[in-house]
């Protein structure tokens, strides 16, 4: 099943801060094979906790599911995806060990949904989670912990897409009721935190912070002081304050999260780096661009180590450093950073909007520093990318905006039209 540790943190932070621009769509759950008597006896053993169980591995779909996990840990994503597909197909085709099959589907659909979310396919993620809920109910029972966790995962995914509908609240209420009935402190804590974030989306800040605080205390007891989940509560509370520009209070919560993640995951872990970046930019929101720059520069070597020198995660940090330098009047230093980003995007995403934006940013600052005569090559690059994107402007809003802004900037350095000669009297 999905856990909060596996949810994309960038999406969570964007939604916490009210910056996510996602939509939810009604999704028809795929058909799930039901057991004859759902949850009566339950699967013998299924899911990631059973990958060392010899008897469980005799069931081929469970063995294929475990293979998918192992291959993913080895960095063999295509082979892992294939093994997961085989596990789902085998479980769906099973006619005898139907409880075991539903148990495998409960976990496999959740993993498939997680991967869909990681690659930005929200519709597939919602469909997979809806299928996981059905499978978990079929295999373990409607009121099982597995069903409650699947329902929570589904609600979490919709929250990340800023779905504040009453239905999400009803689903979370049902999860809380099951968690309390089953005395499952972890699911209760996670559902309380999710309900707090839902209140925040609806604009009820008092209810949001009350529930987030309750969820945090529950998580500290259920998971431990230095758990990922407790750290996530700190992030969510920090985001609640940041969203209303109470940067000092929000930053204090982020610092608590960084302390937890730095100790348990390491300062170079992607999760830790994500929170550190949000923490750094909180100083920029207060116009303390120097401090923000210092913190971003301290992160950069670790980002290169973790993501790679040409990763977009690394590029975002380099670009932010340039922005901080420009805010401080360090135009030449900022231009070097922008040109560094431009060089990377020329190689990694040529002729895209992001490439164009980097060229446009560098060209604009070059005009300011050295005048139009010095920016000829950058202006030409801006024009070339705009011409390449021109055919897509009717369907791509980002492309349309870039082409318009590119034309405006290039026109600033266009040669003035020759004046017409005065007429002789």
User: pLDDT tens digits for 53-99?
Assistant: 888 899 999 999 999 999 999 999 999 999 999 999 999 999 999 88
Say if residue 332's pLDDT is above 90: yes
pLDDT for position 307: 95
User: What is the rounded average pLDDT of the residues 207-235?
Assistant: 96
pLDDT of residue 157: 87
**Average of pLDDT values for 105-112?**
94
Query: What share of the chain in percent tops pLDDT 90?
Result: 70
Ranked by mean pLDDT, the top range of 119-128, 153-162, 319-328 is 319-328
Query: Could you give the CA distance from residue 120 to residue 45 in angstroms, rounded to a whole number?
Result: 31
Q: What average pLDDT does range 312-324 have in this prediction? A: 96
pLDDT top residue among 419 and 211: 211
Report whether CATH 1.10.10.10 matches the domain 167-269: no
- CA 207 to CA 189: how far, in whole Å? 16
What share of the chain has pLDDT > 70, as a percent?
87
- Residue 219, pLDDT > 60, answer yes
For the chain, the domains span 1-163, 167-269, 287-347, 349-412
Q: Which two tokens stand for residue 53?
A: 């169980």
Residue among 142, 136, 90 at smallest CA distance from 109: 136
Whether residue 28 is predicted with pLDDT greater than 70 in this model: the reply is: no
* Spacing of C-alpha 201 from chain mean position: 17
pTM over 0.75? The answer is yes
Question: What pLDDT digit, counting tens, does each position of 164-188 carry?
Answer: 677 888 889 999 999 999 999 999 9
Scan for tokens 């690394």, then name that residue: 314
pLDDT score of 51 more than 60: yes
Q: How far apart are CA 240 and CA 208, in angstroms?
A: 8
Residue with tokens 């469970």: 62
Q: Report the alpha-carbon distance of residue 312 to residue 394 in Å, rounded.
A: 27
* Cα–Cα distance, 342 to 354 (Å, whole number): 9
Give 118-139 pLDDT, tens digit per residue: 888 888 988 999 999 999 998 8
SS percent in the chain: helix, strand, coil, step 5:
75, 0, 25
The C-alpha atoms of residue 232 and residue 253 are separated, in whole angstroms, by: 10
Residues 357 and 337: their CA atoms lie apart, in Å, by 14
What is the C-alpha separation between 328 and 113, in angstroms, rounded? Answer: 44
Q: CA-to-CA distance for 262 and 284, rounded, in angstroms?
A: 22
Task: State the pLDDT at residue 33.
Answer: 42
Q: Model confidence at 275, in pLDDT bands (50, 70, 90)?
A: very high
């Amino acid at each position: 099943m999905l856990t909060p540790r596996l949810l994309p943190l960038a999406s969570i932070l964007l939604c916490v801060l009210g910056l996510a621009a996602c939509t939810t769509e009604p999704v028809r759950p795929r058909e799930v094979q039901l057991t004859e008597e759902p949850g009566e006896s339950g699967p013998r053993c299924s899911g990631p906790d059973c990958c060392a169980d010899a008897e469980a591995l005799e069931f081929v779909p469970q063995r294929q599911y475990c293979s998918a996990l192992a291959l993913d840990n080895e960095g063999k994503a295509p082979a892992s995806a294939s093994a997961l597909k085989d596990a789902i197909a085998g479980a769906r085709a099973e006619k005898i060990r139907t409880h075991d099959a539903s148990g495998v589907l409960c976990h496999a659909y959740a993993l498939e949904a997680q991967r869909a979310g990681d690659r930005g396919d929200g519709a597939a993620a919602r469909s997979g989670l809806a299928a996981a809920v059905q499978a978990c109910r079929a295999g373990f029972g409607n009121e099982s912990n597995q069903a409650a966790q699947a329902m929570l995962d589904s609600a979490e995914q919709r929250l990340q897409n800023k779905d504040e509908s009453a239905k999400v609240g009803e689903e979370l209420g049902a999860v809380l009721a099951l968690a309390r009935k089953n005395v499952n402190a972890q699911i209760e804590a996670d559902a309380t935190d999710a309900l707090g974030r839902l209140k925040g989306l609806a604009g009820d800040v008092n209810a949001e912070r009350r529930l987030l605080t309750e969820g945090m205390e529950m998580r500290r007891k259920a998971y431990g002081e230095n758990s990922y989940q407790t750290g996530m509560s700190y992030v969510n509370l920090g985001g609640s304050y940041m969203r209303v520009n109470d940067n000092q209070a929000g930053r204090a919560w982020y610092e608590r999260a960084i302390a937890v993640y730095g100790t348990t995951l390491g300062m170079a872990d992607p999760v830790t780096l994500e929170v550190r970046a949000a923490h750094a930019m909180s100083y920029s929101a207060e116009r303390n661009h120097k401090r923000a720059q210092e913190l971003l520069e301290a992160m950069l070597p670790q980002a290169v180590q973790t993501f790679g020198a040409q990763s977009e995660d690394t590029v975002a940090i380099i670009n932010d450093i340039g922005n901080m330098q420009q805010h401080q009047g360090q135009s030449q230093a900022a231009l070097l950073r922008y040109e560094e980003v431009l060089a990377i995007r020329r190689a990694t995403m040529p002729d895209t909007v992001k490439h164009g934006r980097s060229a446009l940013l560098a060209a604009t600052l070059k005009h300011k520093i050295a005048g139009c005569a010095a920016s000829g090559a950058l202006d030409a690059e801006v024009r070339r990318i705009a011409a390449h994107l021109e055919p897509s402007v009717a369907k791509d809003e980002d492309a349309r905006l870039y082409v318009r802004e590119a034309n405006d900037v290039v026109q600033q350095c266009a040669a003035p039209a020759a004046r017409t000669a005065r007429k002789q009297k």
